Amino acid sequence: MVKLNRIYTKTGDDGTTGLVRGPRRPKSDIRIDAYGTVEEANACVGMARLHTGSMPKIDMLLARIQNDLFDVGSDLATPGADDPAADYPTLRIRPVQTEFLERQIDHYNADIAPLKSFILPGGSPLAAALHLARTVTRRAERITVELAAVEADTSPEALRYLNRLSDLLFVLGRVANSNGVKDVLWVPGNYGDVKKGG
């Protein structure tokens, strides 16, 4: 378990931060950006949970996802291979966690009507919050792809997990909108009053 006795250490005042192993890096480093954005996605999932009062199963699922996202962050914060002499292996996101997301996608998507248009984030507070979490997760995925292009030891499973998670959050957003009944659909070229006035 992690034990935090001090909240500030002043070691980052020079604009650097420490990874789980390896030399300190600038806080602007792409690896820090990757796991920092995963943490941002986690915060968005936490905000979504404020709206799950009538959906306890969704709340439990999101709680598990929040824990998994900490695993993703730890994975991304630990470059390089394990030392064979180390007492404990590095905490990595595992295929079983990604496979869990796939099962949840299949389960929740089974009763939702196919889409005939793209969805605008909204419809209900929970759906809007889940779509925000989804878009931040997509950003985390994009940054991790960029990281993988320059650091070959980037976890491929972290990438797969983020990809599946964004898909699951999309599906859960539809579930939160009465299984898609209250989805807000995109209407291409709908200028509204602007069109009438022009």
Would you say residue 36 lies in a domain?
Answer: yes
* DSSP-based three-state secondary structure for 92: coil
Would you say residue 5 lies in a domain?
Answer: no
Would you say residue 18 lies in a domain?
Answer: no
**pTM of full prediction above 0.85:** yes
Digits of tens for pLDDT over the chain (198 positions)?
A: 566 666 667 767 677 676 677 777 767 789 999 999 999 999 999 999 999 999 999 999 999 999 999 999 999 998 877 777 777 788 899 999 999 999 999 999 999 988 888 999 999 999 999 999 999 999 999 999 999 999 999 999 999 999 999 999 999 999 999 999 999 999 888 766 544 433
What pLDDT, on a 0 to 100 scale, did the predictor assign at position 4? 62
Would you say residue 133 lies in a domain?
Answer: yes
How many folded domains does the chain comprise? 1
d(CA 26, CA 54): 43
What pLDDT, on a 0 to 100 scale, did the predictor assign at position 197? 37
Domain that holds residue 61: 25-80+90-197
What pLDDT, on a 0 to 100 scale, did the predictor assign at position 86? 72
Would you say residue 8 lies in a domain?
Answer: no
Would you say residue 189 lies in a domain?
Answer: yes
Would you say residue 13 lies in a domain?
Answer: no
Would you say residue 20 lies in a domain?
Answer: no
The residue whose two tokens read 């979504």 is: 48
DSSP of 40-66, one letter per residue? HHHHHHHHHGGG-TT-HHHHHHHHHHH
The enclosing domain of 108 has a CATH number of 1.20.1200.10
